[in-house]
Chains A and B, each alone.
Chain A
């Protein structure tokens, strides 16, 4: 894949077309009206990082409140609002757009050798929709807040006070942003691959994003209609979800999880996609089982649509339905395990470099292993009856969403940071931060598995005295985690103040985004790249394709 002719640096005689995308146009207006996928990706990045910060502050407040039983820093009512806002922000405003809208927006067209995404104006439009949704969500927070949990279960959500209607509307709006991003990426991958790049010549990141985009397109509309019905229920009392009026609250759960279970894979598939890039690059070795990894992404996307009932084992759905959902849930483990084993084998006999992105990838393997395997516990009906709604569930999905997706996102952020901003960050500081995040994360959430299996229910503001030690261990873990993020923010911002020093290809990768300058020029490549080999042809000397 490496036979592209690009000038390594932007030299002094650069004309307009040679200017890097960060300097092609000055001022706020040039950003707010851009249709360049790279700039839109960066605008998404700052927006979601701000949301991550906000959701993180709420998380620290939750952990601080749980330092002691009964009231520590806030009332029970405030606690309900804080954990709801933590969940809603992290899910709808951070994780779902994190990798696709921010990172993939930047690198996907570069990886495909394209000049832009299929619909650049639609791309900018979806950013504006996201910002409007975020503003509505923030308005909902400051005008009454929401105490329903991020799942908005009826009939509580149709009867409680607060800004539930506004928050639901915000999520409805954010859904359109997600749908448009998905439509854009599917069309881009189908039609904008560089000449000579077949489906199996794409980097595996693109396969992961493709599977994600399909779910975004096919699942999100169902959430939209569910939230619309919820809004009607609140305003008109139409009774579809209200047992008092003859409706069925379990129907809401079916509708909600028909979206929100696939949405779990909107979160994890892009994380897996990043790992499939980092591991071969830092092992300098061809990925093992390319097609198996590619197809397992699509398999996960398909299976994701038929497992939603495993969130509802205790809802009163039929036992037969529970048994079937349980069985199909186990099936998700197969493609996930295929990926994991292929990543591990890729490292075998490779020349492994332990740079920060690779440290995150290795953390991912361990944490995803724990998160995935505890998911099997919860997928088994009899075990789930015991563990349902306990801290075991909280720990499980944090191992998947944070331990896997966020860790992979951070790996990707460190991996592509030099490409995005043209600057290297302090490697030693990055390793320290990664270690702190890893230790802090495990210190926070490992005790929660124990708490949950001993019967500590989730979403409770108070607890029995015998749970105090484990809760305190978890809270101390959250401080270590917070310190890791502080250090990370420090060295990343510090790197932005330096002059541009990143080489075009600091990690000696073979995929196309590294074959153009760092940061890339506005049109991405000086010439349309011609693709001669696979994206992971590390057995060939650098700069030689299949046809050389």
Chain B
């Protein structure tokens, strides 16, 4: 990578209110980490509510989690862990100017993300079919057991639903940087979007790592 290409990349992507590309990168990273902190606090509220209610109705939580398919949950955990690995590789190859490998790894990450959503779709449709729905739509008459399972499934759908929404946003963002990477926007001098969306994707993965044992492995 010649020095002049560096300068060109710096010139193209540095916004006017930053003095240097390094200042711009540091600022972007601060912004992203702050955003991730807000995500953790938002899910934190859900975790606190879930934990409190689990303490009050442990039988309902155990009964509720028996209706979840822990094999499918485990498969999805593996998908997301793999996608985090391919994301790391994508960031790495972006930083070493290896365009085709960057695009390939972003593509693999997308593939794992879609696989996660497909599994989630089958899980959800199975729950809908069995009447395992949140709140007043929970079919207690046929399913039996403690009535607070309705609340458990309220949390289940809130937590996995919001997480799934984050996966969906992630898919859009990764597609966007894949197009840009393919176009040749990134180089070792400038790959901030790949870096930052990588951070976001790791958080989405990390939250699932907590959701899986909390929801699927209660007892």
Contact = CB atoms under 8 A, between A and B. Distances in A.
A186 B45 contact: no
Interface in B61-77: none
Q: Is the interface of B mostly helix, strand, loop or mixed?
A: helix
A229 B148 contact: no
A236 B134 contact: yes
Contacts of A225: 42-43, 45-46
A4 B150 CA distance: 66
A528 B17 CA distance: 11
Interface stretch (A187-195, A414-422, A483-491): A187-195
A245 B150 contact: yes
Contacts of A224: 42
Given A118-B31, A186-B34, A247-B151, A222 B42 contact: yes
B38 A221 contact: yes
A119 interface: yes
B26 interface: yes
B49 A236 contact: no
Given A191-B26, A222-B42, A224-B42, 12 more contacts: A183-B35, A186-B30, A190-B27, A237-B135, A237-B136, A238-B150, A238-B151, A238-B154, A239-B148, A239-B154, A245-B148, A245-B151
Interface residues of B, number: 40
Contacts of A195: 19
A269 interface: no
Contacts of A119: 27, 31
A246 B26 contact: no
Contacts of A229: 45-46, 49, 158
Contacts of B154: 232, 236, 238-240
28 contacts: A116-B16, A118-B27, A118-B30, A119-B31, A120-B15, A122-B31, A183-B34, A186-B30, A187-B30, A187-B34, A191-B27, A217-B34, A217-B37, A218-B37, A218-B38, A221-B42, A225-B42, A225-B45, A229-B46, A232-B134, A236-B135, A236-B137, A238-B150, A239-B135, A240-B53, A245-B135, A245-B150, A246-B148
Contacts of B41: 218-219, 221-222
B14 to A, nearest CB: 12
Interface string B140-162: 00000001101101110010001
A182 to B, nearest CB: 8
A240 B151 contact: yes
Interface string B1-41: 00000000000000111110001001100110011011101
A458 to B, nearest CB: 28
Interface string A464-477: 00000000000000
B45 A232 contact: no
A191 B57 contact: no
B147 A238 contact: no
A526 interface: no
A130 B56 CA distance: 39
A191 B32 CA distance: 14
B44 interface: yes
A228 interface: yes
Interface in B115-151: 133-137, 147-148, 150-151
B45 A255 contact: yes
Interface in A167-217: 179, 182-184, 186-187, 190-192, 195, 217
A251 interface: yes
A19 to B, nearest CB: 16
Given A218-B37, A229-B49, A246 B31 contact: no
Nearest to A117: B17
Nearest to A225: B45
Given A116-B17, A225-B45, A246 B34 contact: no
Interface string A103-141: 000000000001110111010000000000000000000
Interface in A498-526: 523
Contacts of B43: 225
Contacts of A240: 49, 53, 151, 154-155
B38 A179 contact: yes
Given A114-B17, A192-B17, A238 B135 contact: yes
Interface residues of A, number: 43
Contacts of B44: 221-222
A115 B45 contact: no
Interface in B163-187: none
Given A222-B42, A229-B158, A247-B151, A238 B27 contact: no
B217 interface: no
A405 interface: no
A218 B155 CA distance: 22
Contacts of A184: 31
Given A225-B46, A229-B49, A251-B49, A115 B26 contact: no
Contacts of B30: 118, 186-187, 190-191
Nearest to A258: B45
Contacts of B150: 238-239, 245
Nearest to A114: B17
B16 A183 contact: no
Contacts of A329: none
B218 interface: no
A304 interface: no
Contacts of A220: 38
Contacts of B153: 238
A226 interface: yes
B208 to A, nearest CB: 17
B143 to A, nearest CB: 16
B52 A251 contact: yes
A184 B28 CA distance: 10
A183 B148 CA distance: 39
A118 B27 CA distance: 7
Nearest to B34: A183
Which of B56, B137, B158 counts the most A-chain CB atoms under 10 A from its CB? B158
A232 B135 contact: yes
A327 B57 CA distance: 33
Contacts of A191: 23, 26-27, 30
